[in-house]
């Protein structure tokens, strides 16, 4: 899988310690690297002689920009880059599995079900590529890495925007012969669009199912001619009496149509051509053959044997005393702290020593410095989610003010809010301000998934505890972070009570389940978990999926009603739910209608009107005005801010009180009553239990994932969202 570094290879690139070579070509090398936070990355480095060519550097810069525009669970994300360096580099998250090309070459064709699942996930990745206005242009088996939880599409080196002028010449064939479209084979530049990626995906799936490219092998000219003029060779992909086989063959023939207009879009690929049953269900994705899974497991184990990161050299003003729980590093790995002559010993694994130690007193201090410690708040205080952001600020401020009013407090705290405007572009700068403030012990926020995903690794490198009460998407849990504490159930978990609630309704017939692609990953999570729950409870749903921004829902709802459904589950956002609600009223449907948190939005009430009445909704937040345990909080909030608390105010209040609980306990156990450092606080928070006014808090110590229940039910009543209480967790 990897090779040893050569003596001429650099020791590090862009903050990544290089561990091994993953591959090399004529233009550069791909290294396996590790960040100071301990995350593995594939670091692509371009040789200096090519970097001096203006056109080449422009193409590389475009590759970086292009890859950053794609956000999908099934596309490898960019974690860092410097296209302007002497030797430009690009780092992406490392996937330890083999490429599809390697897996098929070593273990043979994949089973039909595996190919179908592969197709759905890669189509989902391409849907995001195309939604970003891009065309990948090199979808091939070597550019798909296999992981237990799904494939990853890589290498956007020749991707370009659909309206962008190509840097390469107009008559140049761009792509990999045997896996490119007829329009690419004939260098019809202006015609190379999203449909070209679908043709390439068809070639890739045919290869996965049969073990050979559909247009054979041979010289480049022969491959290009067959692609344009010959029919694909799909022999060996037998339909027989197997429905899955029939559908796969039909799909491949549509994808491999010579005319781009005859091919399905990435959207249609996942909503029409493959049935919902191919979506992996449950906590473990079971989609690959055992021998491929074994290779992935072996390679993951190899990662554990890789060397650690060299110890970090602390800043001159950092303490020279290591935290109590630090492990001694070997003498050969010590570095001199040149500014002061002191030595700092640090365990490997990527911890940033300065971020942990700068909270400590200077060496020789006999008493804690007079300082006011702080809880940071990163929130959207001026952007699209400012209502939730301001509610969190107010809840956090109330908790800190109440703490400071105590007579026997060990220290005082202040709240330091930073507004990121709900912008993923502004979020890293906001995070840096809080990280650089040595008085900040922990941070509450950010408000949205986009801003959270933009800063999680930043907080991780600084080992500054980050407690999140509102963001809850799938991407937050895809990677293990060292400082993240998730103070709410994830969005996918909110789907669990939907099936439980429907099973409790007496006489309720089969549920209709509508996934609205406008809701992107959120809708897919909700639909998949609900479908899985109902199936396991012995009452399979009737699932349908509609493309993004579908206005006419009458045909799909009519089809669902013809199937005999007696209840309805919607997976998506508020605007789509309003259209569904009005259509259901139009056709006279009065069975249970249920959806999840994203629809608790004034837009749903405004756009649906009376059609919203009776809808049930699950959420991760409560209405404190309707919860007896929150009566004192609600009264104090009204007195302090002159209004009832908004959504997430009570959750923020609880999260800050959770931090205060651990700070006080640790301070009482230390000389001088000072709070713990950031690294120590992360561990304390992840091991903590706290009974708040919104829910009971507990976490998985290894990754900070929320381990409690904390799901609530609302119902639309008299034009408002009425809090019902805790959502059912058992049938």
- Catalytic residue numbers read 138
- Interatomic CA distance for residues 440 and 704, integer angstroms: 20
Buried b (16+ CB within 10 A) or exposed e, 533-562: bbeeeebebbbbbbebebeebeebbeebbe
Distance of CA 161 to the CA centre of its chain: 24
φ, ψ for residue 81 (rounded to 5)?
-170, 155
Using DSSP bridges, classify how beta strands 160-161 and 134-135 pair: parallel, antiparallel or unpaired: antiparallel
Within 8 A by CB and 6+ apart from 332, the residues are: none
Q: Is 323 helix (H, G, I), strand (E, B) or coil?
A: coil
Q: Check if the beta carbon of residue 111 is closer than 8 Å to that of residue 289.
A: yes
Do 573 and 473 touch, CB atoms closer than 8 A? no
H-helix or E-strand spanning residue 197? helix 194-210
Instruction: State the Cα angle at 573 between 700 and 605, rounded to 5°.
Output: 115
Helix (H, G, I), strand (E, B) or coil at 27: coil
3-class DSSP state of 270: helix
Query: Would you call 160 helix, strand, or coil by DSSP?
Result: strand
Which 8-state DSSP code applies to residue 671?
Answer: T
Bridge partners of 10? none
CA-nearest of 587, 575, 599, 570 to 511 is 570
CA 239 to chain centre: 36
- Which structure tokens are listed for 436? 């650089």
Phi, psi dihedrals of residue 88, rounded to the nearest 5°: -55, 145
């Amino acid at each position: 899988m990897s090779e040893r570094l050569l003596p001429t290879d650099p020791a590090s690139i862009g903050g990544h310690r290089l561990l091994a070579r993953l591959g090399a070509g004529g233009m550069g090398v791909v290294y396996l690297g590790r960040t100071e936070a301990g995350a593995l990355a594939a670091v692509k480095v371009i040789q200096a002689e090519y970097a001096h060519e203006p056109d080449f550097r422009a193409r590389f810069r475009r590759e970086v920009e292009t890859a950053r525009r794609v956000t999908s669970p099934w596309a490898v994300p960019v974690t860092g880059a410097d296209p302007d360096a002497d030797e430009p580099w690009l780092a992406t998250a490392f996937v330890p599995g083999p490429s599809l090309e390697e897996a098929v070459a070593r273990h043979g064709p994949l089973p039909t079900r595996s190919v179908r699942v592969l197709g759905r996930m890669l189509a989902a990745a391409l849907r995001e590529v195309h939604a970003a206005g891009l065309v990948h242009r090199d979808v091939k088996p070597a550019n798909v890495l296999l992981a237990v939880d799904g494939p990853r599409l890589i290498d956007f080196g020749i991707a370009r925007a659909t309206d962008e002028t190509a840097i390469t010449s107009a008559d140049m064939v761009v792509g990999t012969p045997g896996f490119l479209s007829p329009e690419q084979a004939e260098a019809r530049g202006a015609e190379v669009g999203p449909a070209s990626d679908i043709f390439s995906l068809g070639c890739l799936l045919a290869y996965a199912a049969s073990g050979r490219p559909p247009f054979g092998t041979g010289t480049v000219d022969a491959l290009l001619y067959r692609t344009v003029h010959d029919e694909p060779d799909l022999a060996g992909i037998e339909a027989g009496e197997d429905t899955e086989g029939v559908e796969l063959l039909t799909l491949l023939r549509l994808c491999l149509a010579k005319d781009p207009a005859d091919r399905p879009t990435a959207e249609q690929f996942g909503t029409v051509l493959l049935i919902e049953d191919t979506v992996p269900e449950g906590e473990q994705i079971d989609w690959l053959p055992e021998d491929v899974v074994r290779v992935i497991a072996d390679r993951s184990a190899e990662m554990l044997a890789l060397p650690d990161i060299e110890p970090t050299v602390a800043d001159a003003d950092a303490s020279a005393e290591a935290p109590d729980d630090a492990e001694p590093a070997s003498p050969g790995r010590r570095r001199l702290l040149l500014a002061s002559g002191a030595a700092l010993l640090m365990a490997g694994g990527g911890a940033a020593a300065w971020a942990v130690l700068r909270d400590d007193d200077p060496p020789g201090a006999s008493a804690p410095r007079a300082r006011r410690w702080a809880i940071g708040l990163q929130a959207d205080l001026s952007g699209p989610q400012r209502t939730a952001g301001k509610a969190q600020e107010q809840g956090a401020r109330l908790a800190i003010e109440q703490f400071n009013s105590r007579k026997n407090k060990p220290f005082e705290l202040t709240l330091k809010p930073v507004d990121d405007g709900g912008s993923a572009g502004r979020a890293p700068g906001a995070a840096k301000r809080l990280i650089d403030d040595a008085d900040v012990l922990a941070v509450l926020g950010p408000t949205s998934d986009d801003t959270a995903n933009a800063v999680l690794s930043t907080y991780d490198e600084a080992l500054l505890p980050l407690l999140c009460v509102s963001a809850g998407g799938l991407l937050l849990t895809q990677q293990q972070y060292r400082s993240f504490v998730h103070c709410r159930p994830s969005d996918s978990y909110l789907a669990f009570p939907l099936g439980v609630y429907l099973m409790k309704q007496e006489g309720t017939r089969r549920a209709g389940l509508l996934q609205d692609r406008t809701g992107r990953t959120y809708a897919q999570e909700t639909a998949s978990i609900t479908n899985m729950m109902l199936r396991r409870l012995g009452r399979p749903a009737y699932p349908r999926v509609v493309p993004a921004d579908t206005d006419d829902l009458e045909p799909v709802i009519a089809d669902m009603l013809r199937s005999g459904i007696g209840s309805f589950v919607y997976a998506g956002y508020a605007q789509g739910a309003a259209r569904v609600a009005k259509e259901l009223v139009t056709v006279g449907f009065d069975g249970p209608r249920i959806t999840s948190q994203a629809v608790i939005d004034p837009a749903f009430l405004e756009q649906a009107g009376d059609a919203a009445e009776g809808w049930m909704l699950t959420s991760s937040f409560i209405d404190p005005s309707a919860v007896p345990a929150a009566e004192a909080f609600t009264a104090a909030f009204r007195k302090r801010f002159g209004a009832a608390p908004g959504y997430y105010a009570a959750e923020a209040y609880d999260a800050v009180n959770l931090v205060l609980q651990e700070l006080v306990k640790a301070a009482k156990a230390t000389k001088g009553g000072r709070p713990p450092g950031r690294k120590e606080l992360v561990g304390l928070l992840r091991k903590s239990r706290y009974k708040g006014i919104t829910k009971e808090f507990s976490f998985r110590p290894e990754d900070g994932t929320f381990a409690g229940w904390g799901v609530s039910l609302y119902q639309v009543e008299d034009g408002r969202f009425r809090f019902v209480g805790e959502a059912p967790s058992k049938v």
